[in-house]
Structure 1
Amino acid sequence: MKNIAFTLMLFALIFTACNTGGSHTKTAKGLEYTIHTKNDGPKAKIGDYLTLNMQYATENDSVIFSSYRNNRPLSFKFQETLFKGALNDGITQMAAGDSATLLVPADSIYGDRLPNFVKKGGKIKYTLSLLKVQSEQEYQAEVEAKKKSQDDADSKLINEYIAKNNLKMETAPSGLRYSIAKPGTGAMPEGNNLVVKMKYSLTLLDGKEVESSKGASVEMPMNRQVKGLRDGIALIKKGGKGKLIVPSTQAYGERQRGSVPANSVLVYDIEVDDIVEGNPVQPASSVPAKLQTTTSPAGNTSTAKLPTTMPAKQAPAKGGAKEGK
Structure 2
Amino acid sequence: MMKKLCMVLAVILFTACSSDDTPKDYTSENEQEIQAYLATNNLTAQSSSTGLYYIIDTPGTGVAPLTTDRVKIAYKGYLTDGTVFDESPEEGVSFTFLNSLIPGFTEGITYFKEGGSGTLIIPAHLAYGSSTNGSIPAGSVIIFDIELIYVNYKTENEAEIQNYLIENELTAQQSGTGLFFTIDEPGDGQQPTLTDNVTFTIKGYFTDGEVFFESTTATDVQLNSILSGLAEGITYFNEGGSGTLYIPAHLTYGNIGAAGIEGGSVLIYDITLLSVN
Q: Using structure 2 for the length normalisation, give the TM-score.
A: 0.47
Q: Using structure 1 for the length normalisation, give the TM-score.
A: 0.41
